[in-house]
Structure 1
Amino acid sequence: MQLARRFFVVLALVLASLVPVQANPMLLVDMDTLEVLHAEEAGQPWHPASLTKMMTAYVTFEELAKGTITLETPVTLSQNAINQAPSKSGLPVGSAMTLKDALYVLIVKSANDVAVAIAEAVGGSEPQFVAKMNEVAARMGLTGTRFTNSHGLHDPAQVTTARDLAVLGLYIRQSFPQFMPMFGTGEVTLAGKRFESNNDLLTKFAGTTGMKTGYICASGLNLVATVARNGRNLLAVVLGGSSARDRNERTAELLLRGLSGSAAPTGQTVLTLANNAGAAPVDMRPQICGKEAKTYVAAQEAAFPMGLEGQPSYLTDSVVAPSYAAVDLGRIAVGVSLPRPRPAHVPVFTAPTAAASLAGELRPGLSGPAIPYPRPRPSHL
């Protein structure tokens, strides 16, 4: 057994010497000051995968704040929604749930069919909803971000950066803190099925408060995570992991460096970080799902073995993450639009021309005015 393990280690080291280790985007931000504590390739264009759903949620939160919808608005799974590739809710066409339940399924299960159903319910159609997503991205100063869908399934034109994802996460926390518990939920049940979050930090890294994972072949495994521990509030972004272990352990290591003080401020804030304008997004498909995958993963494991069998891990805590029970409202007549279709979306906000113009919006040391849930309806008697 020892001989076999020794052989594996030697083989991995040989592979690591033959295959370049990918330097993937990583970013660590102090959420209270907006200071950057660590940054690697933070402006490199990257495919967001299901981190897209962070913006899907944000746009929905804004519409809730405007009063155009409520948390009780029915979200119905159209045929278009059902046609999306997994991950999915498992519900049949015509099934409905409240918007509140749909948001939990969107964030925890990362269901692509529910993402489209929310887009159709909130925006009237997915294209109109995506227009809202891009308008918000421009308003936030996410200069490296462009959305083409609401779910994150691969489209070569759908791109973002670690810097932009950090800014988006900070806006969610500042503008809509009442919805942050959704991102910290560890599991959701729906129609007799139990869906667990892929964010292992929620149950294995004390102080984790959210946020979202994402994966497609073209992006590798992505994670945005927020942590509150010992008076510190940190946000980490890790993109392009070669496995869930690789992504989660690297994120935990980054956060621990910030919590321990070994990651010193860089002199920049997340708002002054530049995106790599004009650079092409990295395509990880050959390394993650193609012929290079086996060799690439072995090289990454040799370079960063944390969490592998027989190796130490940063994910050693035992935390009970909150759970949520969503309710399947049953089938609603297909073809009846709920809510009524909206007119074509016309942007009403002017995009900032530079990162400096955003500074007055994203404010250090401020959680932002809490916009309350719509008032609960009285129980039916």
Structure 2
Amino acid sequence: MRLLTLPLLLTLSSWVMAATLTVPVPTSIKRPVPSAPSLAASSYLLIDGSTGTVIVESNADQPLPPASLTKLMTAYLVEKDLKAGTVTLEDSVPISVKAWKTGGSRMFIREGTQVEMGDLLKGIIIQSGNDASVAVAEFLGGSEGGFAELMTAQASALGMTNTTYYNATGLPAPGHLTTARDLSILAREIIYGHPDLYSLYSQKSFTYNDIKQDNRNRLLWKDPSVDGLKTGHTEEAGYCLVASAERNGMRLISVVMGTKSTQSREQETAKLLNYGFRFFEGVSLFQAGQTLDTTARVWGGERDVVSLGPKDAVYLTLPKGARESLSVSLDMQPELVAPIAQGQQIGMLSVTLEGETLALVPVIATEAVVDGSLFKQAMDWVLRAVQ
């Protein structure tokens, strides 16, 4: 047994190269913690944004009408096209009669005018403008219906398996449904896939056409750690909120659907976020390729040992205090013979908590070991034979 620089116990054992390698992501927390709060909502979910680990869930896979949470996908497709360079924030978007007449929450754009894409994106995210959403849909998809097809296709590509869109606004439509889990997938994509635009989701107000409107996510005023994402409401959907907050380097994402009022969606969201931050933490165990404080014997090489490191970073979502109970083991190939290439896989690193495997990561050589001289190879062959 050898100790790593981290307060974790490392055990060594023989290992045979596997044909298929996986890095499982933990989907549940089994260590005892206080019971999660019960929310007055039709469906809800709380995850660690960094890992996707589920901390709390209830009816998370139940398809429900999303109301204006739909606009998260509308905005995401704009952001995706901006990143691809197919549109710019300065592009002028023509405003149709349909967009101008769309009811519900509005940005108050006017038919026959042209509005910059950047303003429309703010109108969608901050003001929840149905008119802005239709204008963007027609510009990017040819029609709102065509854009809705692109939205559904993108949802499928992201793994949002229970989501179907029929419009860009979230106004009631038969079959226009999503789930709390699917919305959490989309929220992660928005936050981590387009970080340069994520600040829009924390902007508290936006003025267009001399009309100032506040962001409907009132948690932006009540909790300084909250920096997004979007509210929604229709009679059918109830009051909904997808929120994200970051405290002490840990980001949580919550989804609450089907509450009874604006105050309720804020209160229930705050319950989830406070529970997660109080009783859980994100733990970074290893960085990708960092050198471990153990080496492996190499036969026939210019050097006798090779340094090791995990191929991937190891970051876990754990109940607070559980880090001390983690066990880390390194399974090695029984013998390593030079030459060894830098980055060559030579083992597997396993992290367990109370018998449950939380991470399984390939271990690689962090340096190369070339063949030794003929004399060195011969001497090592003798030493191997007499072991």
**Distance (Å, rounded) in 1 between the aligned partners of 2:221 and 2:191:** 21
Determine which structure has greater relative contact order: mean sequence separation of CA pairs < 8 Å that are 6+ residues apart, divided by chain length.
Answer: 1
Q: 1:35 aligns with which of 31, 53, 72?
A: 53
Aligned to 2:272: 254
Aligned to 1:75: 93
Structure with the bigger percentage of helix: 1
How far has the Cα of 1:263 moved from its partner?
A: 9.6
1:135 aligns with 2:153: yes
How far has the Cα of 1:104 moved from its partner?
A: 0.4
**Distance (Å, rounded) in 2 between the aligned partners of 1:124 and 1:72:** 19
* Contact 1:258 1:264 (8 Å CA) reproduced: no
Q: Give the count of matched residue pairs.
A: 245
Q: 1:65 aligns with which of 83, 100, 109?
A: 83
Please show how residues 95-106 of structure 1 align to structure 2 within 5 Å. 95-106=113-124
CA separation of 1:117 and 1:32: change in aligned 2, threshold 3 A: same
Structure 1 vs Structure 2: percent identity of aligned residues? 37
Structure 2's unaligned 5+ residue stretches are 1-38, 284-387
**Distance (Å, rounded) in 2 between the aligned partners of 1:73 and 1:149:** 22
* Contact 2:89 2:118 (8 Å CA) reproduced: yes
**Distance (Å, rounded) in 1 between the aligned partners of 2:174 and 2:150:** 20
Structure 1's unaligned 5+ residue stretches are 1-20, 266-381
Aligned to 2:134: 116
* Contact 2:125 2:200 (8 Å CA) reproduced: yes
Aligned to 1:165: 183
Please show how residues 193-342 of structure 1 align to structure 2 within 5 Å. 193-261=211-279
Aligned to 1:46: 64
**Distance (Å, rounded) in 2 between the aligned partners of 1:150 and 1:23:** 24
Give a deviation string over 1:149-195, Cα, whole Å, max 9, x none. Answer: 00100012100000000000001112111110111111001111110
Q: What secondary structure, in the 3-state scheme, does the structure 1 residue paired with 2:145 have?
A: helix
CA separation of 1:23 and 1:215: change in aligned 2, threshold 3 A: closer
Give a deviation string over 1:42-61, Cα, whole Å, max 9, x none. Answer: 11111010000000011111
Normalised to the residue count of structure 2, the TM-score between the two structures is: 0.61
The answer to which of 70-79 and 216-225 deviates more is: 70-79
Question: How large is the Cα RMSD of the aligned pairs?
Answer: 1.8
How far has the Cα of 1:23 moved from its partner?
A: 4.9
Structure number with greater Rg is 2
**Distance (Å, rounded) in 2 between the aligned partners of 1:221 and 1:95:** 33
Normalised to the residue count of structure 1, the TM-score between the two structures is: 0.62
**Distance (Å, rounded) in 1 between the aligned partners of 2:41 and 2:242:** 17
* Contact 1:257 1:263 (8 Å CA) reproduced: no
**Distance (Å, rounded) in 2 between the aligned partners of 1:139 and 1:237:** 20
Structure with the bigger percentage of strand: 2
How far has the Cα of 1:105 moved from its partner?
A: 0.8
How far has the Cα of 1:264 moved from its partner?
A: 11
**Distance (Å, rounded) in 1 between the aligned partners of 2:229 and 2:201:** 5
